[in-house]
Amino acid sequence: MTARRAVAAAQRTKDGEALSAARAAVHAAKLALGERGPVWWNDGAPDYNRHLAKNTPYAAWHAGLDE
């Protein structure tokens, strides 16, 4: 959030150099958080999206949840 606040401050003051540095910091933070960069969903793991939990390997876990 510090980097995002720096972007806003640089935009308010119309400081192009500070804006570039702040945007680079935002990009670096997003890379570190995994929000940018290689995708994680192409790892070859089966996709259980749009399946009932009882029809997946998570059935036992789901059955143990409190309603």
Give 42-54 pLDDT, tens digit per residue.
888 888 999 999 9
Place 58 in a pLDDT band, splitting at 50, 70 and 90: very high
pLDDT at 55: 95
Res 15: pLDDT:
95
Note whether 47 and 58 are within 8 A (CB). no
Helices in the chain by DSSP H: which ranges?
2-13, 16-33, 59-63
pLDDT by residue (tens digit) across 4-37? 999 999 999 999 999 999 999 999 999 999 899 8
What pTM did the predictor assign?
0.59
> Could you tell me which residues come within 8 angstroms of residue 9 by beta carbon, excluding any fewer than 6 positions away?
18, 22
Q: Name the residue ranges covered by the structural domains of the chain.
A: 1-39
